[in-house]
């Protein structure tokens, strides 16, 4: 499949309506002021399929949500989100409707389409087809700069400026997100303190451990006080102390109104933090609900009670496949 360059779409005309503002945080992150809500465009435009793409995917059998009358007041909204890589269908008509302030867990086996979905949501990968992709009420492809100013992203693979110190990196991130110049040093220092990185603020990122890199990247994603935060495997390679710090920060963020879209393979963390969970398998969203809702459905289907059991049941995992009789 030939690659097609992505060009910025024309600016949409201003229309009436404002995204709902978020409450100010009363906790230790309260000083990181959130960006004001922006006018929203109430006419999301379908993203056309590339000329050489295969035919549209067959709609999956599971539609997780009842769409609201105005999806612009949701934190994340997609309709028929689809991605092909050549002839491989990686994401198959995924429909999401995630409310503001939710801690949404996005689970799936390796290769199920989790990271591909996140890349499309944050504007890093143009979908093969989508009828709508809205983040914080903004069309990600019609108004990409405004949409990205309202989101923070912690990708699975970290590409950091290794020849900068931690403090320099945070100040750069603050400048790129148009944080007021006088405010950037204060926020950077507070984030370093919260992440237990104050002593390493003048150390080059090239000398940071895996856990320190995760924390400085998360700090950079928070410095502009995003309305929606996307996290792809944030606890991978992180020690228990740092994991606890990150968990506490994420819980404080959702308590103050930030929406978190969280992908992880650590079921215990998902079970502890998330208010709602979606499970993707072979590119399709096959289950979604609160933990209690998923448990109730699992009991009807066969009695699974833990999130791990529910996950294995939903994706149809063969847990016997890994047995090696010659080891016994």
Model confidence at 26: pLDDT above 80: no
Give dist(CA 115, CA 326) in Å, integer.
36
Query: What number is the average pLDDT over the span 108-137?
Result: 94
Q: What mean pLDDT is reported for the chain?
A: 80
Model confidence at 177: pLDDT above 90: yes
Least confident of 12-26, 85-99, 185-199: 12-26
Output the pTM of the full model: 0.77
Q: Determine the pLDDT at residue 239.
A: 82
Model confidence at 270: pLDDT above 80: yes
Query: What number is the average pLDDT over the span 310-325?
Result: 74
Phi, psi of 293 (to 5 degrees): -65, -40
Q: Determine the pLDDT at residue 168.
A: 97
Model confidence at 48: pLDDT above 80: no
Query: What number is the average pLDDT over the span 38-58?
Result: 48
Query: What number is the average pLDDT over the span 148-172?
Result: 93
Percent of the chain topping pLDDT 70: 74
Model confidence at 233: pLDDT above 80: yes
Model confidence at 44: pLDDT above 80: no
Q: Determine the pLDDT at residue 223.
A: 96
| 8 Å CB contact between 149 and 35 | yes
Q: Determine the pLDDT at residue 236.
A: 81
More confident residue, 60 or 233: 233
Q: Determine the pLDDT at residue 296.
A: 84
Least confident of 60-64, 140-144, 324-328: 60-64
More confident residue, 252 or 8: 252
Model confidence at 319: pLDDT above 50: yes
* Per-domain boundaries in the chain: 151-225
Q: Determine the pLDDT at residue 320.
A: 59
Per the rule left: phi > 0, alpha: psi between -120 and 50, beta: everything else, 183 is alpha
Query: What number is the average pLDDT over the span 3-21?
Result: 43
Least confident of 73-82, 165-174, 312-321: 312-321
Residue 132 burial (10 A CB sphere; 0-12, 13-18, 19+)? buried
């Amino acid at each position: 499949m030939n690659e097609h360059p992505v060009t910025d779409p024309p600016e949409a005309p201003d229309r009436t309506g404002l995204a709902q503002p978020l409450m100010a945080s009363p906790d230790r992150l309260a000083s990181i002021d959130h960006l004001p809500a922006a006018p929203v465009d109430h006419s999301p435009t379908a993203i056309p399929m590339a000329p050489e793409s295969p035919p549209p995917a067959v709609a999956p059998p599971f539609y997780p949500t009842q769409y609201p009358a105005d999806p612009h007041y949701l934190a994340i909204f997609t309709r028929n989100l689809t991605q092909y890589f050549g002839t491989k269908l990686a994401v198959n008509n995924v429909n999401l409707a995630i409310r503001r302030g939710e801690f949404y867990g996005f689970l799936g086996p390796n290769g199920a389409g989790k990271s591909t979905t996140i890349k499309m949501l944050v504007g890093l990968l143009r979908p093969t087809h989508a009828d709508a992709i809205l983040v914080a009420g903004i069309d990600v492809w019609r108004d990409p700069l405004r949409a990205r100013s309202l989101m923070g992203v912690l990708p699975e693979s970290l590409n950091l400026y290794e020849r900068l110190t931690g403090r320099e990196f945070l100040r750069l991130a603050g400048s790129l997100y148009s944080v007021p110049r006088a405010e950037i040093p204060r926020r950077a220092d507070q984030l370093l303190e919260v992440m237990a990185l104050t002593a390493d603020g003048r150390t080059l990122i090239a000398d940071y451990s895996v856990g320190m890199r995760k924390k400085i990247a998360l700090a950079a994603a928070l410095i502009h006080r995003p309305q929606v935060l996307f996290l792809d495997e944030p606890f991978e390679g992180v020690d228990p102390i740092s994991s606890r710090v990150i968990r506490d920060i994420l819980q404080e963020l959702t308590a103050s109104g930030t929406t978190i879209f969280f992908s992880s393979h650590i079921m215990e963390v998902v079970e502890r933090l998330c208010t709602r969970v979606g499970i993707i398998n072979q590119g399709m969203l096959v289950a979604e609900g609160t933990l209690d809702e998923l448990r109730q459905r699992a009991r009807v289907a066969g009695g699974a009670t833990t999130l791990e059991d529910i996950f294995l049941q939903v994706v149809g995992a063969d847990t016997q496949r890994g047995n090696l009789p010659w080891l016994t």
